[in-house]
Amino acid sequence: MTLEMWLVLGILITAIVLFVTELLRVDIVALGVVVVLMVSGVLTTAEALSGFSNSAVLTIAALFIVGGAVLQTGLAGMIGRRILAVAGTNERWLTVVLMGAVALLSSFMSDTGTVAVLLPAVIILTRSADIAPSKLLIPLAFGSLLGGAMTLIGTPPNIIVSDLLRENGLRPFQFFSYTPIGFILVVVGILFMLFIGRRILPNRKAVVEGQRMTTPKELVEMYRLPDNLFRLRVRRGSGLVGQTLAYSKLRQDFAVTVLKIMRSAEPRPAAISLVGRGEVGNGRDAKAEPIIPSIDTIIELDDVLIVQGEGDDVAHAAAHWNLGVQPPKPKDEKALLSREVGVAEVLLPPRSDLVGKTLVDSKFGSRYKLTVLGLNRPQTSHKLDLKSTVLQFGDTLLVQGAWTDILALKQQRRDFIVMGQPESMIGAPNQGKARIALVVLLGMLVLMIGDFLPLAAASMLAALAMILTGCLTMDEAYQSINWPSIVLVAGMLPMSVALEKVGLVDAAASGIIGVIGGLGPIAVLAGLFLLTSIFTQVLSNTATTVIVAPIALAAAQTLGIQPYAFLMAVAIAASMAFATPVASPVNTLVMGAGDYRFGDYIKVGVPMILLTLVVSVLLLPLLFPFS
């Protein structure tokens, strides 16, 4: 091997180690790969930056926007609820309908978005059907992963391998090229769950009942939040007058959360300030304007702070800052839950930057503009201190604040999994545009299916149409894009260029052919599928595809056969992330709600991977002949 080969191999191994250990964020690692390849001279500047102009990257970004519009308008929830309405209460029939529905939706939307939309409805179904959620939530997650293999836009690996074919002068995969094998895998997956998986899945009904998915209104009652509401009037002489809310440190020092500030809409007569030290004026609420507080909000004289906290803590804070304590009014409960603000439970996945830190260390409030009202940990019944508790994987935070800020956490998929469906509480802000979103979505599919426009052009046109028709704003479009995933794809694509440029792709392909090539193309196909499926349990499916797909193409060229079966096998295997709860965000999403253990995924996931391997090896050569 040449020096350049060793250098590129070292960069690749380092990147894989960082991906697996999560010492750095995946997007930082990908950017590091670009910089090192460029600085070392392995790639030219144009080659190193080529990933950011790659059509696959632009297509994936545009599809994120289209998917965001489908969620913002409530279209996804409407479709999901109508499908699940026919599910009934029989466990077997529920499994069939659930996996079929989620597979159908995830063939056009992101897996994570699909599961997040359907999860609350599934939890409600399990209650009404008296079925343990642990019997249905892994099927829900696995069904979404299988569904991603049914269409060209179902998952990024499908787009990446198709784009690789086009770049090499070969006919790319069409929209429904994946459908025959994808549909068969969905059917096989459903049958496996019906006859085998159901027997392997745990039945933790009693445990999960206490951890069941709840609506925001149920959360308010469950945590007894209205019982701890108070009003604090800012008196003359209070040290908070003219100060920011951050200066008060009410949350940090007193465990008191400011939910809303009521401020007079009219200039305050000077005489009133001399009466009762600012206590007079309870009737002024009719002319008061509500203010959603932020850390930069300036507190004014006679402001009424609607707060949540234990009575002793509120009294302590009031004494310290010279505030008048008043009982809450019935309408104050709206400060907890309205179309503007609310509460939600947020699960910490294993890759979260918050794991191993306290809320204070992570600066949660200032960073995310939300307040943590509660902290729950599986198998822990005692109350956890919000200031000093070191956060762990699986912890659930009860957060309160503006719905827009809660929804923003959904974009931080590495750090948070937002439980439930906050979009529904703000009425899917663009719900009136649901029909328009449906028309645009169908129009995009027609353009793609009919091959009237290239994939990138059709997806970008649909994204633009979603914005111009008001299905989502430009800011919401930016927020709907999972930027770490985009940077990951754009950063790792040059790695595949480098691997090919220095000869490592050909070397790897020759190595595979040398070891199992004598057994024939089917053995090589099986080897590529197995290699990809192993990688995707610890790496993202995107990074895995970028690394393995060029090797698969080179292996096919070395054998002198058509590469379609090999590349299809890589794309499918990259989505078969069944064996661990961290292999895919959807696995993590259902873990807490189903009270699953790490071993549950292994017991059900490994047989699923082997089954999809066998089906793919048998059918892909028939669907995509080698010659």
Question: Could you report the per-residue pLDDT of 430-480, keeping only the tens digit for each?
Answer: 667 888 988 998 898 888 888 888 888 988 999 999 999 988 888 888 877
Count of C-beta atoms within a 10 Å radius of residue 287: 12
pLDDT of residue 615: 96
Say yes or no to pLDDT of 617 above 90. Answer: yes
Instruction: Go through the chain and tell me how many residues it has.
Output: 627
Helices (H), 75-212: 75-84, 91-106, 111-129, 137-147, 156-167, 179-192, 198-200, 205-209
Global pTM reads: 0.67
Give 411's pLDDT tier (boundaries 50, 70, 90).
Answer: low
* Percent of the chain clearing pLDDT 90 (strictly above): 23
Cα separation values, 408 from 77, 128, 480, Å: 18, 31, 9
pLDDT of residue 132: 84
Cα separation values, 512 from 39, 517, 535, 616, Å: 31, 7, 16, 19
Q: What are phi and psi of 271, to 5 degrees?
A: -65, -30
β-sheet bridge partners, residue 277 = none
Q: Which of 197, 202, 204 is nearest to 578 (CA)?
A: 197
Q: Which of 198, 195, 185, 194 is nearest to 609 (CA)?
A: 185
Say yes or no to pLDDT of 568 above 90. Answer: yes
pLDDT of residue 80: 67
pLDDT of residue 627: 83
Q: What does the pLDDT look like over 291-329, one tens digit per residue?
A: 878 778 899 998 999 888 888 888 999 999 999 998 888
Among 54-68, 187-201, 515-529, name the one with the lowest average pLDDT. Answer: 54-68
SS3 content of the chain, % helix, strand, coil (to 5): 60, 10, 30
* Percent of the chain clearing pLDDT 70 (strictly above): 87
Q: Which of 607, 601, 608 is nearest to 201 (CA)?
A: 601
Q: What are phi and psi of 356, to 5 degrees?
A: 90, 0
Give 131's pLDDT tier (boundaries 50, 70, 90).
Answer: confident
CATH architecture for segment(s) 341-419: 2-Layer Sandwich (3.30)
Query: What CATH number does the domain located at 225-334 have?
Result: 3.30.70.1450
Query: Where in the chain is CATH 3.30.70.1450?
Result: 225-334, 341-419
Among 81-85, 156-160, 162-166, name the one with the lowest average pLDDT. Answer: 81-85
Residue of higher predicted confidence among 325 and 383:
325
Contact criterion met (CB below 8 Å) for 164 and 567 = yes
Q: Extract the tokens encoding 33.
A: 């790969």
Residue of higher predicted confidence among 116 and 101:
101
